[in-house]
Amino acid sequence: MDGSLNWVKFETGEALNYLTFIESEVIPFVETHYRATPNHRTLAGQSLGGSFGVLALLTKPQLFENYILTSPSLWIHDR
């Protein structure tokens, strides 16, 4: 095992579907089963997770009260 990743084999491009899943299933489940409230929702992400956070912030800013996005990987098509 050489420790390198072949990124070509990973499926990408479903971030909006993932965000919809978080909004329609994850958040309602968490707020039903735990002491969580909308005014304390926080999304944190680093690198590719930070990129997802930027997408969430730009498309559904009201979904989370706080965004902690460190070093988002903001490149397009190997540039």
The 10s digit of each residue's pLDDT in 11-56 is 678 899 999 999 999 999 999 999 999 999 999 999 989 999 999 9
**Which alpha helices (H) appear in 4-67, and where do they start and end?**
15-21, 27-33, 48-59
The model's pTM: 0.77
DSSP 76: S
Q: Cβ distance 50 to 70 under 8 Å?
A: yes
Structure tokens at 74: 């903001």
Structure tokens at 58: 């730009």
Q: Cβ distance 33 to 9 under 8 Å?
A: no
